[in-house]
Chain A
Amino acid sequence: MTSAIECPRVGLFATCIVDVIRPRIGFAAVKLLEEAGCVVEVPERQTCCGQPAFNSGATKQTAALARQFIDQFEAFDYIVVPSGSCAAMIKAHYCEALADDHEWLERATTIAAKTWELMSFLDEVRGYRPVGIELEATATYHDSCSGLRELGILEQPRRLLKAVDKLKLQPLPGNDVCCGFGGTFCVKYSAISNAIVGEKAEAIDGTGAGLLLGGDLGCLMNMAGKLSRSGSKVRVMHAAEVIAGMGDGPAIGEEE
């Protein structure tokens, strides 16, 4: 454990898509954080980190959303996010978005230092391992780009998943190749995105695994949507769900 804080107060930022599309990931995160000894709070007024505005070049809107986020979350010891790309937005890009404003830049820097992606927080900060969790399945893992390249998330989720009994992990060829999601890219350039995720779906199918895991819902929705459209039987879940022992529930796109 690298943290000196015994029971840190953690603000969970669920992210806007988890909030709407897959609340189970939010509940899994709460459960895991509590088991890892944290006092979890879910600020009720949270909305979005501003990533769509940032990647669209809308600097004013980005800065406004960054300020709102900082206001809502800066009092916590840690801010934890079940998404590499949203965590990277806060950790790596708020400072860019608020670079022109001295006071806010300082606050952005402070919040960046205590913001963590869920898997890396559990693994690196809390030294957490799931105990008594079991899932009989063969899974493969896709490493989403922002988490991998901006935050260095690669081994953390694998270490956590290895502690899940009966779960076999099968390597995915091209695990670090973009799935073609890219936020607004996947609808603006849907034909290109489709071609990219088509190749990804083939690679996933080719592993023979029955379950695809990852750490970013956007990418998982993209791959799950393509897999099911092309008739694949591979089920898709966020790794946190499996680690929290919720792996026997409905996968993405299955009836609740």
Chain B
Amino acid sequence: MQVGMTSFKARAKSALADATLKTAIDRTAGNAETKRATAVGEFPQFDAARRRGRKIKDHVIANLEHYLTQFERNAIASGAKVHWARTSQEASRIVIDICKAANAKSVTRSKSMLGEEIGLPHALEAAGIERVETDLAEHIVQLADETPSHIVWPAMHKTREQVAELFKSQHQELPASDAIPDLVESARKDLRRKFLNADVGISGANFLIADTGAICTVTNEGNAELTTTPPKVHIVTAGIEKLVPSLGHAFMLLRLLVRSATGGDFTQYTTFHCGPKRPEDADGPEEFHIVLVDNGRTKMRRELPEMLRCIRCGACMNHCVVYRQIGGHAYGATYPGPMGSVLTPVLDGLKQSRELPHACTLNGKCAEVCPVEIPLPSLLRGWRERSWKEGLEPVTVRAGIGGWAFVARRPGLYHMATAIAVRLMRLFKRGGRIAWMPFAGGWTEYRDLPAPPKKTFINAYHASRRGAKP
């Protein structure tokens, strides 16, 4: 992703100035929020299901070697080829090598955040292979030469009107109107022929099922099927945390995933792939590859095991007050929002991304809605502690907090300091308010500050008591 050029604050600021962006985010995320609330309300055992979901993931993460070995064995037995990638570079190299071996000129891809994480779009382009996105939103993102801004709705940052403009300028089949069905139809006509000509299909996986070696993908557009069935070669890229022991466990987690993501009861398309085409099958790929990606996950297992529970539902960002204001791109990382601010320091390094765990009010809503009970605020605070320990916090912050804590640990000095602060603040008051004050610009630029009365509570209270009982 295009990080590094600008700071988080600068990106956030330009996002805040973009009123269309805010409309786009609120339409989709607001809708998701409402629908989720209804779906959860209609599922009385939701809390029990969350606990169950959390237990399944924790169990798998604690016994990862066992389930990985089991999955590999069963996948190979079904005729799949299993590849292991330690890093994102290794993962995309493996995919590109498979494409080259298949002589691929064109590949279809169905939306996968892991693909984004390992930089696959870029790697394909660098290898001169045409990339056709089958997911409508990914197609939009590709046409606009952007990156996803949300893990479930990659084009959340665009309004319907903006998409219509984009299609009009780039599609051969122009949309008949700005209405969603016409936009979809335009994309369908543009994309269909490309789907059928692709040599390789690349998908992600929502679940890797250990006891059968099957993989499960869910979509609402049926596009994964177009990626995985017509081409001769199907490549699945998946993070190793996607494992579940059995099909039953996958369904258990699906109930949580779908409700939390879209508020639906179930996805429109839920597909299981197990190995390549068998002689008696009507269709299917001749080669079936599974690339299992670590990319920091083994390290997370030691340092941040709770985060490996994440099933990528996106609920935490839909409900995040910061995300809702600035959208996904401002985070400058593959994964935005609360879960992204926990993951990005693992993937990109804390030094690069130290602002992200701070850009959060720690209000706890994300943890409240997370279907696998990830304590996101505590994990974000954990990064703050790490950043402080490693000396990554700016000097001004260290001096500010350090100096304040020094004084707060000396009550006599502290109460002298507050008395002085009160006097200084009162110099700037107009009526009961302070509209501007030096060193308080972060507050007074946007808000009035109430002026303190002459005496602090501790002073006033004890003075009155002494007066009452001499």
Task: Spell out A's residues near B (CB within 8 Å).
Answer: 14, 16, 18-23, 25-27, 30, 42, 44-48, 50, 52-59, 61, 64-65, 68, 145-146, 149-150, 176-178, 180-183, 185-197, 221-222, 224-226, 228-229, 250, 252-256
Contact = CB atoms under 8 A, between A and B. Distances in A.
A192 B442 CA distance: 11
Contacts of B440: 187
B413 to A, nearest CB: 10
B457 A14 contact: yes
Contacts of B414: 47
A229 B446 contact: yes
Nearest to B449: A225
B431 interface: yes
Contact of A190 (B386, B401, B446, B462): B446
Contact of B404 (A52, A178, A189, A254): A52
A151 B383 CA distance: 24
B450 A224 contact: yes
Contacts of A68: 409
A193 B445 CA distance: 11
A48 B456 contact: no
Contacts of A19: 418, 456-458
A36 B274 CA distance: 68
Given A57-B384, A145-B363, A44 B449 contact: no
Interface string B329-355: 000000000000000000000000000
Nearest to A228: B448
Given A47-B411, A145-B364, A192-B325, 9 more contacts: A16-B418, A53-B401, A55-B384, A58-B388, A149-B363, A177-B365, A183-B361, A189-B12, A225-B447
Contacts of A18: 457
A256 B453 contact: yes
List 10 tightest A-B contacts by C-beta distance, closest first. A182-B361, A225-B447, A187-B442, A57-B384, A178-B363, A23-B457, A61-B405, A45-B411, A57-B388, A145-B363
A21 B321 CA distance: 27
Nearest to A177: B321
Nearest to A21: B452
Contacts of A59: 385, 388-389
Contacts of A177: 321, 365
B431 A255 contact: yes
B249 to A, nearest CB: 29
B432 interface: yes
Interface in B358-409: 358-365, 367-368, 381, 383-389, 393, 397, 401-402, 404-405, 408-409
B421 interface: yes
B359 A192 contact: yes
A253 B361 contact: no
Contacts of B458: 14, 19, 42, 44, 46
B363 A229 contact: no
B422 interface: yes
A191 B359 CA distance: 11
Contact of A221 (B325, B450, B456): B450
A191 B12 contact: yes
B405 to A, nearest CB: 4
B401 A61 contact: yes
A42 B462 contact: yes
Given A42-B462, A195-B325, A255-B432, A23 B456 contact: yes
